[in-house]
């Protein structure tokens, strides 16, 4: 793959510049399917709490790409990947979130789609992307897809893209901290990059970087509870989930919408419908929700109103002492209200608990005897974090009855 | 006006926290008309060049409010405003951009509306806002509107909100620098706030702060030419202007849209139609443009395609030596193409030249003899900036003929 | 106490400005005894590892003062201290380290002095300081001294100045991080200040600030192991301790120095000799050490040479598996060499272990039922940190035999 | 020159890390003559005004070296220097200030020495340095010296080290801003490094970087007047100059000092005495001044007292309207007082006016036609800065008569 005559750069507030050496990358960025990421916010509803967190998945994707670019400057990484693998790494980093849609979490849950498999499909099947990747070689697109699906053919790249300490997380923790203004996402990236080693295609970190790793895990922990799982942001997501649910139920009952909802309909019929899926960005959904304000369906109308005008629902901790109160709240509601205006949910599941339960499982430390040991066996702090930081936060979200 | 029992805060990456002491302010923020600012990007098309500049007018409005809040901690300001005037200052700061719509510049130009007069109208006529402001007193809304229209009744507040060095500019220069990642918006806010004085209701700055002021003017100059007037961002605005223009022409000729464009229609019929205007946020326009991709009108379809897929038009400097080339480009185009696919425009007009021409006119320096003199008479650097920095940048933007 | 007509400020890279409202504070800063703090580095030998950490105790003292100033803007603090107590707080913050000397740690250890009691003595007995403080009232100096010695008369102020989370630590962690360039000292000061409460003269923090507190403790932990206890910095301190030791032994044996060491001699004779003590700043000691380069005493000469030319000694972990090797090293040395060229030492003692052992003992959390509970009972992370982070680091430092 | 097996790094608050690839560099850093730079403050008396500006020439020298290291990553630079020249560049950057002594400005003025020629001498004659450099080749030391003296043999390296926009200035402006806390030193280093080009061994910058250059010049201008030429800092330097002057006069008259001043004596006798010169660092001078407090010479004693206890002299602008007052002040003083307790001086001479007068002379812009033009011909702002920013600031500094 030939390099550009003149390196292209994009100004970025975190890294100064994003550096692009290959036309391949420029071409991918210029596809409509990648530009579409500009229209999907990175943090869904979080900006309703942290007003400045309005950045898109586009910025994040460029950031992850840039970190991959920088990791390739590290000798240990560079020498363990041949040129084709280096390109695979860069492209996978850039496209790792290409399958995300509007408010993905709620959407995936209600419409039973999966952004990673759709992402893989886009990479292999979308004409714009495929044409570009085929220029490398005919197996390239498949290999990128296999990395994103973590099939195991490129273990080192897969770890670099998605493990317990990878370019994806490194970028989003720092980026989300930058845009929210949270004080906790600071990561000692310089240090981490200096202590990276590769042993038998396994990513590991030298023991001398232990403080940087501990610090990263604590930063991550705090970002989750302080930002990603902020109750108000979750409440906002709940309303969204209910909107999706109501639309789905109305579609199923052949309700006549006052507005074109054909893309959602197609996905309901076929969750693999890539083209329909690609239409559903934030602009689409927000445009739809704006129209729902005029819907004759009372429920859809109400949910849209709550969503757009920030009528955050009430929240109550689902603790033993609150059971009486919760029972009372629920008892006053009709079945329909229970379905569309209340949600019992907890965040011990999902991204965070998955990562915390396994905190340290996958991060390897190269100790002074040049042996790999798991992080939790090396760091007593991490060891204790694994158990002590396990926290679930079950809550009931419910709409007040008065409008 | 009673203060809240417990101060409310919003986390902000620039200021740490935005502080709210009055329910009045909270209530205004919670109105649908203010929340709507979340759906309007602060920098229109600039994020197509500086990808991280995706922040909204909502963030900026909170930022301007916070600066007003901080200016009120300055003794010189505090003691020159009675309690009602202090509230007027805070509210005007918060609402100064309430009249902005989607991609305002292009929109205002094509549809002949003015965001400041609509803003004033929203303040006095919008039921949500008016109800809240009437709780202060029945003249309050009118006074806020008069400040935004710079009627002259509250000279000090008007200068603080909108002059050559005001809370609006201070916030947007720093905020836009933060989100673009540009290195030039750094302002010594601490210093500026220490040297503010008020003499005869005139805002001025002590001579000891001259370096902070010079620095601010140079930062402003660089932000304009580096960010706001970046050719690619302008090219993007050009396409938008053409979309508005095409829609307007189609509306005039009673074209049957495949989509609901009634709000734009109403505004075309009555530029003062506040409710129609309030519907036109970025979500609305972007939703519309997405639908235009399927429009049967070839021109609208083409423009929408260029806009959404970042097919930036060509740009050529409108300089004497390029006249031949420009003539050739134009000669190859039909009248319709000339109208919708080319634009001659310059940025010596507009916000910047307006401010540069008068650079220093309105900034007063309190010299060591306690006399007010204009900035340009005090600072030889500023004096020379006034003439030397006058720069216009006429360009021709044009679509290539091949699709 | 009357306020200044015009607030005085000092530019500070951490806080923007240090604010001074009282002549009392200005006068204290201008005393020779306070100016002397400019001549004592905050981090002794740490700058031999982190080259930019060359800041003085003067900067830190101003920083602690400024934090006290800011804490007094917090309603909860302000209303729990009368005007005299507020002044006591400001003055104690400013003067809390006034008793520090050159390379205090080693010095105090060898010469058996204590910087806190000398500090208290300076406050009550030094004519410059005493004269200024007496202008408040005749008991003021005694009260400041009693706060620094934590006598218990002003419990709230004592906690604010010196506890597990106080203005002293908050400043030094952030300041030392800023100057070393370490990535770990980031503290969410804004948040901490928002959640401070006072209950029965007890400082506490609202539960909603728990993340800021956890983060602070982890930052502190990392600063200790990453910066303060960096082996090379410790090695440098070891050489210093040996220099002090050799000087002391030579003084005892009435050795004829080629240089005036009378101040050290006086202190050896009377550890309470304040005037002698005040002469011993970094300039004095470094000047002395420079002269020791020409000393005829071989040991002093050698130590001075190592110190000035950064001939860091060897370091070996004092672990079971190294015992054989250590024994061998020691066996090759004469008694004199053992005394002056080797040191067995650990950092489980000293500042850190003292604080970690009690981590959480003194930080109180105000829970949702408005009850005070100790931090470790509230935060499972902290609870686990208390045990897991207990780490000692015994090492043998030794000079190689070849010169 | 072989590279190290493992890159060495130093943590730096500005650049994250300083990177060292060659043992050559490590060895130079470890020499006593380079370590000595730790004992010389970068900004002499400036820390008396900006208390945190206590950083040493050691930090700055490492910073300049690191910038050279980074400039060598730029293709345009890299390919215009062969390997030996690259080493010359790195070494010259590291050693460019090796000849600086304590409070150089005043010292050089009084003792008629020149830090650049002494620096060159140290490089060629100091045994430690010479031995290391000879390992490259026998001409290497001479070539480094010739670069520092700007003899013209290595024009590109000389421009990179010392011109109007060089690694020396880039580091000190950013570093001094960081440590003072001044808001003006921000430079867009990333941008500058992207637009560097070399044409016929001439360093130039692409026109697209014009804003970064303008910004740099304005930052420099403000740093001079805000920091380096701060009247109080100048007053402090004045006292120092008088101390040097008094010592010199006493030496000449064979005064019996109560303290060893032999190094100063040697320099007075032979300004080329390198070994004597190397002893005179800040520790030496400050130690001396501390002793002067006990001097029986009234003048020396007084000056030392003023210096150590921050008794800043009075300052009066030497303007036409102040002539009367100045005359009165001077008339009341004896000849001796005039000589030692007053100084007429201006800062239109010296570093700044030298640079401003020629502002733009040496910065070349590569315009769109690939031709080099001088900056002032390209940028109208710079053109106007050249004339408008010429400012001199003559002042009379004088000691009040009362002690």
- Report the C-alpha gap between D208 and C102 in whole angstroms: 52
Average pLDDT of A343-347? 85
Q: Do A39 and B284 touch (CB under 8 A)?
A: no
Q: Do A286 and B290 touch (CB under 8 A)?
A: no
* A to B CB pairs, distance under 8 Å: 96
Q: Do D218 and B215 touch (CB under 8 A)?
A: yes
In total, chain C counts a number of residues equal to: 403
Residues of C in contact with A220 (CB under 8 A): none
Reported as a single tens digit per residue, the pLDDT across A102-138 is: 888 889 889 988 899 999 999 999 999 999 999 999 9
Please list the alpha-helical segments (H only) found in D5-52.
Answer: 23-30, 32-35
Task: Report the candidate in A220, A226, A212, A213 with the shortest Cα–Cα distance to residue A182.
Answer: A226
CB atoms under 10 Å from CB of C306, counted, come to 22
Residues of C in contact with A381 (CB under 8 A): 221, 384-385, 388-389
Residue C20 φ/ψ, nearest 5 degrees: -125, 120
The 3-state DSSP composition of chain C as helix, strand, coil percent (nearest 5) reads 60, 10, 30
Which one of C39, C51, C57, C312 would you mutate to disrupt binding with D, by most D Cβ within 10 Å of its Cβ? C51
Q: Are residues A54 and A200 in the same domain?
A: yes
Reported as a pLDDT band with limits 50, 70 and 90, residue B56 is very high
What pLDDT was estimated at residue A359? Answer: 42
| pLDDT more than 70, % of chain D | 95
Reported as a single tens digit per residue, the pLDDT across A203-260 is: 999 999 988 998 888 888 889 888 998 999 999 999 999 999 999 999 999 999 878 8
Residues of B in contact with C190 (CB under 8 A): 16-17
A391 → chain C, closest CA residue = C380
| Three-class DSSP category at B8 | strand
What pLDDT was estimated at residue D351? Answer: 29
Strands B342-345 and B196-199: unpaired
Residue C396 φ/ψ, nearest 5 degrees: -110, 125
First to last CA, chain C: 61
Please list the alpha-helical segments (H only) found in A135-166.
Answer: 140-148, 155-161
Average pLDDT of A88-92? 98
What's A257's domain CATH number? 1.20.1250.30
Q: Are residues A75 and A186 in the same domain?
A: yes
Chain C adjacent subunits, 3+ CB pairs under 8 A: A, B, D
Count of helices and strands (H, E) across chain D:
23, 9
In a domain, A356, yes or no: no
Q: Do D214 and B212 touch (CB under 8 A)?
A: no
In a domain, C245, yes or no: no
- Report the C-alpha gap between B267 and B295 in whole angstroms: 21
- Report the C-alpha gap between C164 and C159 in whole angstroms: 8
Q: Do B16 and C190 touch (CB under 8 A)?
A: yes
The residues, ordered by sequence, that sit 6+ positions from D165 with a Cβ below 8 Å of its Cβ are D192, D203, D205, D213, D216, D362, D363
Question: pLDDT: is C400 or C360 the higher one?
Answer: C400
Average pLDDT of D55-82? 97
Reported as a pLDDT band with limits 50, 70 and 90, residue C250 is very high
E strand segments, B176-323: 196-199, 202-206, 314-317
Burial (CB count within 10 angstroms: exposed 0-12, middle 13-18, buried 19+), residue A161:
buried
Model-level pTM? 0.93
Residues of B in contact with A50 (CB under 8 A): 11
CB atoms under 10 Å from CB of D73, counted, come to 11
Reported as a pLDDT band with limits 50, 70 and 90, residue B355 is very low
Calculate the alpha carbon distances from A289 to C98, D71, D123, D258, D310 in Å. 64, 52, 73, 88, 68
Residues of D in contact with A17 (CB under 8 A): 190, 194
User: Which long-range contacts does A83-87 make (Cβ < 8 Å, 24+ apart)?
Assistant: A83/A1, A84/A136, A84/A137, A84/A140, A85/A154, A85/A156, A85/A157, A87/A1, A87/A22, A87/A24, A87/A136, A87/A140
Q: Are residues A257 and A274 in the same domain?
A: yes
Q: Are residues A297 and A177 in the same domain?
A: no
Q: What is the mean pLDDT of chain C?
A: 90
Q: Do D194 and A16 touch (CB under 8 A)?
A: no
Contact by Cβ (8 Å): C306, C314: no
Q: Do B58 and A39 touch (CB under 8 A)?
A: no
Reported as a pLDDT band with limits 50, 70 and 90, residue B29 is very high
Reported as a single tens digit per residue, the pLDDT across B161-185 is: 998 889 999 999 999 999 999 987 7
What pLDDT was estimated at residue D360? Answer: 44
The residues, ordered by sequence, that sit 6+ positions from B318 with a Cβ below 8 Å of its Cβ are B326, B344, B346, B394, B395, B396
In a domain, A358, yes or no: no
Residues of A in contact with C187 (CB under 8 A): 183
Question: pLDDT: is D221 or A129 the higher one?
Answer: A129
Q: Are residues A46 and A67 in the same domain?
A: yes
| Three-class DSSP category at A316 | strand
What pLDDT was estimated at residue A85? Answer: 97
| DSSP bridge partners of A8 | A20
Residues of C in contact with B17 (CB under 8 A): 190, 194
Q: Are residues A209 and A255 in the same domain?
A: no
Q: Do D54 and C59 touch (CB under 8 A)?
A: yes
* pLDDT above 50 (res C357): no
- Report the C-alpha gap between A165 and A145 in whole angstroms: 21
- Report the C-alpha gap between D173 and D389 in whole angstroms: 18
Reported as a pLDDT band with limits 50, 70 and 90, residue B320 is very high
Q: Are residues A239 and A220 in the same domain?
A: no
| pLDDT more than 90, % of chain D | 66
E strand segments, B96-242: 196-199, 202-206
Residues of A in contact with C225 (CB under 8 A): 211
Q: Are residues A157 and A195 in the same domain?
A: yes
Residue A256 φ/ψ, nearest 5 degrees: -85, 105
What pLDDT was estimated at residue C310? Answer: 81
What pLDDT was estimated at residue A377? Answer: 79
- Report the C-alpha gap between D69 and D228 in whole angstroms: 27
Q: Are residues A107 and A255 in the same domain?
A: no
Q: Are residues A57 and A184 in the same domain?
A: yes
Reported as a pLDDT band with limits 50, 70 and 90, residue D1 is confident
D227 → chain B, closest CA residue = B211
Helix axes A83-95, A140-148, angle to 10 degrees: 60
Instruction: Compute, in degrees rounded to 10, the torsion defined by CA atoms D204, D207, D212, D217.
Output: 60
In a domain, A379, yes or no: no
Average pLDDT of B358-377? 78
Reported as a pLDDT band with limits 50, 70 and 90, residue B393 is confident
Reported as a pLDDT band with limits 50, 70 and 90, residue C362 is confident
Task: Report the candidate in C233, C389, C316 with the shortest Cα–Cα distance to residue D11.
Answer: C233
Residues of D in contact with B190 (CB under 8 A): 183
Burial (CB count within 10 angstroms: exposed 0-12, middle 13-18, buried 19+), residue D350:
middle
Reported as a pLDDT band with limits 50, 70 and 90, residue A351 is very low
Reported as a single tens digit per residue, the pLDDT across C80-103 is: 999 999 999 999 999 999 999 888
What pLDDT was estimated at residue B385? Answer: 72
Which one of B70, B191, B212 would you mutate to disrupt binding with C, by most C Cβ within 10 Å of its Cβ? B191
Residue A343 is classified by DSSP as: E
What pLDDT was estimated at residue D298? Answer: 95
In a domain, C218, yes or no: yes
Residues of D in contact with B214 (CB under 8 A): 218, 222
Reported as a single tens digit per residue, the pLDDT across D120-138 is: 999 999 999 999 999 999 9
- Report the C-alpha gap between A90 and A54 in whole angstroms: 25
C190 → chain B, closest CA residue = B16
Q: Are residues A183 and A200 in the same domain?
A: yes
Task: Report the candidate in D271, D248, D282 with the shortest Cα–Cα distance to residue D118.
Answer: D271
Q: Which domain holds residue C116?
A: 8-229+351-388
Residues of D in contact with A9 (CB under 8 A): 194
Reported as a single tens digit per residue, the pLDDT across B201-256 is: 899 999 999 889 988 888 888 898 889 989 999 999 999 999 999 999 999 999 99
What's C106's domain CATH number? 1.10.3210.10
Contact by Cβ (8 Å): D143, D153: yes
The residues, ordered by sequence, that sit 6+ positions from D231 with a Cβ below 8 Å of its Cβ are D315, D395
Average pLDDT of B334-352? 76
C47 → chain D, closest CA residue = D38
Which one of B49, B222, B391 would you mutate to disrupt binding with D, by most D Cβ within 10 Å of its Cβ? B222
Q: What is the mean pLDDT of chain A?
A: 90
C227 → chain A, closest CA residue = A211
Residue B113 φ/ψ, nearest 5 degrees: -115, 170
Query: Which of B51, B55, B283 minimises the CB distance to A287?
Result: B283
Please tell me the distance in Å from B16's CA to the nearest CA on chain C. 7
Residues of A in contact with D194 (CB under 8 A): 9, 17
Cβ-count burial D93-103 (b if 16+ within 10 Å, e if not): bbbbbbbbbbb
Please tell me the distance in Å from C189's CA to the nearest CA on chain B. 10
Per the structure, the count of domains in chain C is 1
Reported as a single tens digit per residue, the pLDDT across D311-327 is: 889 999 999 999 999 99
In a domain, C247, yes or no: no
Residues in chain A whose Cβ is within 8 Å of chain B: 10-14, 16, 30, 32, 35, 38-39, 47, 50-52, 54-56, 58-59, 62, 178-182, 259, 279, 282-284, 286-288, 290, 308-310
A225 → chain C, closest CA residue = C211
Residue A332 φ/ψ, nearest 5 degrees: -85, 0
Reported as a single tens digit per residue, the pLDDT across C297-343 is: 999 999 999 998 888 899 999 999 999 999 999 999 999 999 999 99
* pLDDT above 80 (res B364): yes
- Report the C-alpha gap between C72 and C196 in whole angstroms: 11
Q: Are residues A300 and A244 in the same domain?
A: yes
Please tell me the distance in Å from B242's CA to the nearest CA on chain A. 21
The residues, ordered by sequence, that sit 6+ positions from C215 with a Cβ below 8 Å of its Cβ are A183, A184, A218, A222, C186, C187, C188
In a domain, C374, yes or no: yes
**SS3 per-residue string spanning B353-403:** HHHHHCCCCCCEEECCCCCEEEHHHHCHHHHHHHHHCCCCCCEEEECCCCC
Please tell me the distance in Å from D15's CA to the nearest CA on chain B. 16
Please list the alpha-helical segments (H only) found in D256-369.
Answer: 262-269, 274-279, 282-292, 298-308, 323-331, 335-341, 350-357
E strand segments, B169-257: 196-199, 202-206
First to last CA, chain B: 61
What pLDDT was estimated at residue C209? Answer: 92
Task: Report the candidate in A15, A364, A81, C247 with the shortest Cα–Cα distance to residue B181.
Answer: A15
In a domain, C304, yes or no: no
What pLDDT was estimated at residue D355? Answer: 43
The residues, ordered by sequence, that sit 6+ positions from D209 with a Cβ below 8 Å of its Cβ are D191, D192, D194, D195
Q: Do C194 and B17 touch (CB under 8 A)?
A: yes
Interface confidence, given as ipTM, is 0.92
């Amino acid at each position: 793959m030939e390099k550009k005559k003149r390196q292209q750069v994009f100004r970025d507030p975190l890294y100064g510049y994003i550096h692009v050496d290959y036309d391949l990358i420029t071409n991918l960025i210029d596809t409509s399917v990648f530009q579409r990421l500009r229209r999907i916010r990175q943090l869904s509803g979080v900006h309703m709490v942290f007003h400045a967190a309005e950045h898109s998945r586009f910025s994040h994707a460029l950031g992850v790409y840039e970190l991959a670019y920088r990791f390739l400057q590290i000798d240990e990484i560079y020498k363990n990947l041949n040129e084709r693998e280096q390109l695979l790494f860069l492209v996978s980093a850039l496209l790792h979130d290409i399958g995300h849609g509007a408010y993905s979490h709620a959407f995936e849950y209600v419409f039973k789609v999966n952004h990673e498999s759709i992402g893989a499909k886009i990479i292999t099947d979308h004409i714009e992307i495929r044409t570009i990747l085929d220029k490398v070689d005919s197996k390239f697109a498949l290999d990128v897809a296999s990395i994103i699906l973590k099939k195991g053919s490129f273990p080192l790249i897969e770890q670099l893209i998605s493990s317990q300490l990878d370019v994806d997380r490194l970028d989003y923790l720092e980026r989300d901290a930058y845009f929210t203004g949270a004080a906790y996402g600071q990561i000692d990236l310089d240090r981490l990059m200096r202590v990276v080693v590769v042993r038998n295609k396994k990513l590991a970190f030298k023991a001398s970087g232990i403080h940087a790793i501990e610090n990263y895990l604590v930063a991550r922990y705090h970002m989750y509870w302080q930002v990603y799982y902020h109750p108000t942001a979750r409440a906002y997501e709940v309303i969204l989930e209910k909107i999706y649910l109501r639309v789905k139920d109305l579609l199923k009952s052949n309700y006549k919408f006052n507005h074109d909802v054909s893309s959602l309909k197609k996905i309901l019929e076929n969750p693999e419908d890539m083209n329909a899926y690609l239409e559903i960005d934030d602009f689409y959904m927000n445009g739809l929700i704006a129209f729902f304000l005029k819907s004759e369906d009372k429920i859809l109308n109400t949910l849209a109103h709550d969503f757009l005008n920030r009528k955050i629902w009430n929240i109550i901790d689902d603790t033993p002492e609150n059971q009486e109160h919760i029972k009372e709240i629920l008892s006053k509601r009709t079945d329909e209200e229970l379905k569309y205006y209340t949600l019992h949910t907890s965040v011990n599941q999902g991204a965070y608990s998955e990562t915390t339960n396994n905190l340290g499982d996958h991060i390897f430390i190269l100790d002074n005897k040049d042996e790999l040991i798991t992080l939790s066996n090396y760091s007593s702090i991490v060891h204790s974090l694994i158990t002590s930081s396990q926290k679930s936060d079950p809550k009931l979200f419910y709409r007040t009855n008065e409008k």
